[in-house]
Amino acid sequence: MRREIPLIITTIAGLVFAISYFIPHWPFVEAESIFGDWIAIVQAFAIWLGALNLIKVSLEKIYRKKEDAFYSGIIIVCLLVTLGIGFYDGFSGGAQSSFRDTGTTFDWLYRFIYTPLTSTMFAMLAFFVASASYRAFRARNFEATLLLIAGFFVMGGRVPLFDLALKPFTDVPYFSEFAGWIMAYPLTAGMTAIMIGIALGIMSSSLRIILGIERSHIGGA
């Protein structure tokens, strides 16, 4: 029964969502809405599950004095401080205010600590794009050479410098037009093919799950 009940729920939920897409009629629409509410409730409780796991893993590292116990300490302190400030701001402002309101301490934490940290991580992408491009554009084989040539024209077409270099010879912006052609035709064709494959893959995968053939996600063999 440990496997059968989740399988039955999966099948029913999957069928209800699929049918309600084509049949907008009672009871499918109502059932879809109920399942949606269930998902929200389960996810809300699962957040605590995750938070408790994070605290447990971090405390264990501190207790066992592991190499990176220092970072675990920072996690615990940050978690408790953020939680504490959030609760304080939420309760002290009365019923009309929220801990997310502009000007609260929680808002300050968000704007001046969380956002810069996030931006820092995101900024690393610029350096990684450079190193990944270097590897991808090395003309090791035919495909990589093709990529290099396409990349050269697309990048060249995106900046005015290349068209400007052609200005003494012609007024036609060949670089930007060729870049536009690459983006509009070969790229769109390739992307569409991938999208069709993905849609069919999702369909086939969903069918396997709904029919109970695929069970790995519920711990089935």
Partner 1 sequence: MKFISIYFVLLVSLSVSAQTNDNDSTSLLVNDSLTIKIAPPTSVIVEDYKYDDADNLQLHWVPSIDDMPQDGKVVRYRIYQSTNNGSFVLVDSVNFSVNMKKIEGLAIDSTYQFMVSAVSKNYEAKSNKTITIQTEREWINFNLASLFLIALLITSAVIYFIETARRGKELFVRKIAGLEAVDEAIGRATEMGRPILFIPGIHDMDDVQTLAAITILGKVARQVADYDTKIRMPVARSLVMTAARETIKTAYQTAGRPDAYNDDMVNYITDEQFGYVAAVDGIMVREKPATIFLLGAFFAESLILAETGNSVGAIQIAGTARPAQLPFFIAACDFTLIGEELFAASAYLSGEPKMLGSLKGQDVGKAIAMGVIIVGVISITLGEAYGIEFFSNITSSIQSFFTVNK
Residue 64 within binding range of partner 1, rule CB under 8 A: no
* 134 token code pair: 């270097």
What whole-number distance in Å separates Cα of residue 69 and Cα of residue 71? 5
Residue 135 in contact with partner 1, rule: CB under 8 A: yes
Q: Greatest CA span in the chain, whole angstroms?
A: 78
**Residue 77: other Cβ atoms inside 10 A:** 11
Torsion of CA 93, 99, 101, 107, to 10 degrees: 130
Of the candidate residues 4, 8, 12, 21, the single one contacting partner 1 (CB under 8 A): 21
Which has the closest alpha carbon to 113: 78, 144, 148? 78
Residue 95 or 130: which CB sits closer to partner 1?
130
Q: Which stretch binds partner 1 (CB under 8 A): 84-92, 163-171, 173-181, 212-220?
A: 212-220
93 exposure class (CB count in 10 Å sphere: 0-12, 13-18, 19+): middle
Chosen residue from 8, 15, 24, 160 binding partner 1 by CB under 8 A: 24
Q: Is 68 in the site for partner 1 (CB under 8 A)?
A: yes
What are 51's two structure tokens?
Answer: 């938070």
82 contacts partner 1 (rule: CB under 8 A):
no
Closest approach, Cβ 210 to partner 1, in A, equals: 10
Residues engaged in binding partner 1 (CB under 8 A): 21-26, 29, 39, 42-43, 46-51, 53-54, 57, 60, 67-68, 71, 114, 117-118, 121-122, 124-125, 128-129, 131-133, 135-136, 191, 194-198, 200-209, 211, 213-214, 216-221
